[in-house]
Amino acid sequence: MATVLSEKQIAQLKRRVKETPHPREMVLDVLHAIQDANGWVSDEGVELAAIILGLSPLQVEEIATFYDKIYRCPVGRKVIHVCDSICCWSRGGEALMLRLQQLLGIAPGETTADGMFTLLPTCCLGACGEAPAVRIGKTLYGQVALEQLESILDSERTEVAS
């Protein structure tokens, strides 16, 4: 389990859970911590979360698989979420998705061969006034023009390399 989180991280989470009047409310915090450390939540991560929270792995699994921002499969270093909801659709969201597929050489749901990017469609990012919008890792890009995509990807790659 120490490969998923360090002993220190596990101890910290266990302490927080113990101090919480309703430990189960922390299930997303624990899953977020595991995902932040590993990029995704593996079966081993689910089992570790269950131990930390005092739940069964199945109880954790039904939460982990419900939310679309918890990844239960390996993903790239950065996940690209392309908003396909109505505001982004009306301002070129579909063209952004097609261009990203061309630039990355992958289809939605796939990860680039170098493990850098995973491309996913997503529901509304809450950036309707800045449509079309894309989220890469933790960064939200609004009013994205097709011509900008290449340099955005380059800067994201550079950030990982540095």
| Part of the chain binding other proteins (CB under 8 A), chosen from 8-16, 102-110, 134-142, 147-155 | 134-142
Q: Smallest gap, in angstroms, from Cβ of residue 26 to other proteins?
A: 7
Task: Mark residue 52 as left, alpha or beta (left: phi above 0; alpha: psi -120 to 50; beta: remaining).
Answer: alpha
> How far apart, in Å, are the Cα atoms of 158 and each of 79, 116, 151?
15, 11, 10
Q: Which one of 129, 151, 161, 162 is in contact with other proteins (CB under 8 A)?
A: 129
| Sequence ranges of the binding site | 83, 88, 124, 128
Residue pointed to by tokens 């699994």: 61
Q: Smallest gap, in angstroms, from Cβ of residue 33 to other proteins?
A: 12
C-alpha to C-alpha distance for 36 and 26, rounded to whole angstroms: 15
Q: Which one of 130, 146, 148, 157 is in contact with other proteins (CB under 8 A)?
A: 130
Q: Which one of 62, 114, 154, 159 is in contact with other proteins (CB under 8 A)?
A: 62
By CB under 8 A, the count of residues binding other proteins is 37
Nearer to other proteins, 22 or 161 (CB): 22
14 binds other proteins (CB under 8 A): no
How far is CA 116 from its chain centroid? Answer: 13
List of residues 6+ apart from 90 with CB closer than 8 A: 131
Pure H helices in the chain: 7-19, 27-38, 43-53, 57-64, 86-90, 93-104, 149-161
Positions in 67-106 near other proteins (CB under 8 A): 67-70, 84-87, 89-91
C-alpha to C-alpha distance for 10 and 48, rounded to whole angstroms: 9
What are the residues binding other proteins (CB under 8 A)?
22, 24-29, 31-32, 53, 62-63, 66-70, 84-87, 89-91, 122-131, 135, 138, 140
